[in-house]
């Protein structure tokens, strides 16, 4: 119950204006250990990094999720105090790159006036970013103006959420620091565009408030996804063909994720004209406010999980209204999972053969340019066709072999998608493991997307599996995570 009270105070507090910004600033020191997705039973070397944050109500420190990701030990130092205090993560949203941390020692928060949340700013308003960038240990500020407000991709999560772009410098170490207008937080610094000078991005108040409201019950649910793809309508003949009277309005529904909210409310070929009464233009945008437009995804992910939205559609030339309950996230519906944090990789070893579910983490084991370096049949689903289907919820990859007598002849096989186990199509990683563990048949027959056939003697493979993983210093033959 303590956390419920904390988050309610955070979201609804409207006390008097905060005092000096400096006294609420915090430098965050993170020791982290990330999981290795190429050798999933191991971790990378420990790393030290730093970031910024600020004190908000409820003895909480607001910062970025990526500042505290995979943390093994966390410390904070408030402005003007040389002492470091041990800190703990209370809540985290990797989707929105936000986190709340706290210090158990109440003296840390003594004489600190917490900062208040402000409003969504307007373009060309002046803004100041506070933080502790690399190159020094003292508090630093940079000034700039609001350049634009629209939905953009968050580097940390890959999701498209509302973003404020500013021309104030955001450097390594600034992450998690507040962007301030009129002594109030209008956003949290999160990323910069490396190909250009002084283009930075902050997480705006509506996204921060979404996180706080989500956490009121102490459980993080995330941002909803409807589960549909669409095509813009910018051609008059196209509009006439589908019964759209007004030029360049609406979008065409082209694909639906299996068992998604969209699949239960829409059909392929529907023209989506508005969401909650907000008209959709032919370029897929909606009006955020007068003179400001953003992608229609905003009308979905601004809601909380479990809420219902109203859709105006044209189906078979007839206008109608349908309702959609937003009860799934992008992670629930995706075939290849987006970036996974703070969680050990799933893997399974049988007869020295290593299997994993395909994820962005695994693709990134090819390096920064993974979309170029990795084999195309692994990158294509993530980049172009990432909705689950009735037949497949996850892609299972034979990553490589731990050479042993039992798998002789298969040593060169790696990075192939497992299609069937003894003739049964692979639907998910957990189902795949169940099929392999089934001891009712003598031989295990696997087929892959490249036409490879792997046959293992089940009894022999099981007999030597423990010896193989011990030989390569692997603590266990599997890590399986419970499904939501």
Instruction: Give the residue numbers annotated as catalytic, written as ranges.
Output: 66, 97, 175
* Cβ proximity of 248 and 281 under 8 Å: yes
- The C-alpha atoms of residue 434 and residue 446 are separated, in whole angstroms, by 14
Specify the 3-state DSSP secondary structure of 422. coil
Question: Of 356, 362, 483, 345, which Cα lies nearest the Cα of 426?
Answer: 356
Burial class (CB in 10 A: 0-12, 13-18, 19+), 470: exposed
Q: Which two tokens stand for residue 305?
A: 């999980």
Question: Are 139 and 22 within 8 A, CB to CB?
Answer: yes
Q: In this structure, are strands 98-102 and 71-78 parallel, antiparallel, or unpaired?
A: unpaired
Listed in sequence order, the residues at least 6 apart from 257 whose beta carbon sits closer than 8 Å to its beta carbon are 227, 228, 263, 333, 387, 388
**What is the chain's alpha carbon radius of gyration, rounded to the nearest angstrom?**
25
CB 144 within 8 Å of CB 82:
no
447 Cβ contact partners less than 8 Å away, ≥ 6 residues apart: 418, 419, 420, 453, 454
Neighbours of 223 (CB within 10 A): 26
């Amino acid at each position: 119950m303590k956390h419920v009270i904390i988050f309610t105070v955070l979201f609804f507090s409207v006390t008097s204006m905060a005092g000096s910004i400096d006294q609420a600033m915090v430098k965050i020191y993170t020791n982290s250990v990330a999981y290795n997705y190429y050798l999933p039973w191991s971790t990378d070397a420990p790393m030290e990094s730093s970031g910024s944050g600020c004190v908000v109500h409820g003895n909480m420190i607001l910062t970025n999720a990526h500042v505290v990701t995979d943390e093994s030990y966390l410390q904070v130092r408030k402005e003007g105090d040389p002492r470091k205090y041990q800190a703990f993560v209370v809540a985290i949203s990797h989707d929105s790159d936000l986190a709340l941390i706290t210090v158990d020692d109440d003296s840390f928060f003594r004489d600190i006036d917490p900062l208040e949340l402000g409003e969504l700013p307007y373009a060309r308003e002046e803004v100041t970013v506070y933080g502790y960038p690399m190159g020094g240990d003292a508090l630093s500020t940079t000034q700039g103006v609001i350049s634009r407000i629209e939905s953009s991709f968050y580097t940390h999560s890959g999701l498209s959420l509302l973003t404020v772009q500013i021309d104030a410098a955001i450097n390594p170490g600034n992450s998690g620091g507040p962007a301030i207008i009129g002594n109030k937080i209008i956003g949290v610094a999160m990323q910069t565009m490396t190909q250009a000078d002084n283009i930075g991005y902050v997480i705006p108040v509506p996204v921060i408030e979404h996180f706080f409201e989500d956490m009121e019950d102490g459980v993080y649910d995330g941002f909803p996804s409807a589960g549909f793809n669409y095509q813009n309508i910018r051609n008059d003949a196209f509009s006439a063909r589908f019964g759209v009277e007004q030029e360049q309005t609406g979008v065409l529904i082209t694909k639906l994720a299996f068992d998604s909210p969209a699949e239960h409310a829409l059909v392929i070929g529907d023209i989506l004209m508005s969401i909650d009464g907000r008209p959709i233009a032919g370029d897929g945008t909606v009006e955020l406010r007068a003179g400001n437009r953003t992608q229609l995804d905003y009308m979905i992910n601004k809601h909380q999980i479990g809420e219902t939205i109203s859709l105006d559609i044209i189906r078979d030339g007839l206008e109608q209204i349908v309702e959609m309950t937003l009860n799934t996230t992008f992670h629930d519906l995706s075939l290849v999972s987006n970036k996974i944090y703070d969680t050990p990789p799933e893997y399974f070893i049988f007869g020295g053969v290593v299997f994993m579910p395909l994820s962005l983490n695994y693709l990134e084991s090819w390096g920064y340019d993974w979309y170029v370096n990795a084999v195309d049949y692994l990158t294509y689903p993530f980049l172009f066709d990432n909705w689950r289907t009735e037949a497949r919820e996850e892609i299972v990859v034979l990553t490589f072999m731990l050479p042993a007598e039992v798998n002789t002849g298969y040593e060169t096989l790696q990075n192939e998608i497992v299609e069937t186990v003894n003739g049964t199509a692979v639907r998910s990683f957990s189902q795949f493991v169940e099929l392999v563990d089934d001891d009712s048949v003598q031989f295990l027959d696997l087929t892959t997307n490249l036409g490879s056939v792997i046959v293992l003697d089940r009894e022999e493979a099981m007999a030597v599996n423990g010896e193989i993983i011990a030989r390569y210093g692997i603590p266990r033959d599997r890590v399986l995570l419970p499904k939501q």
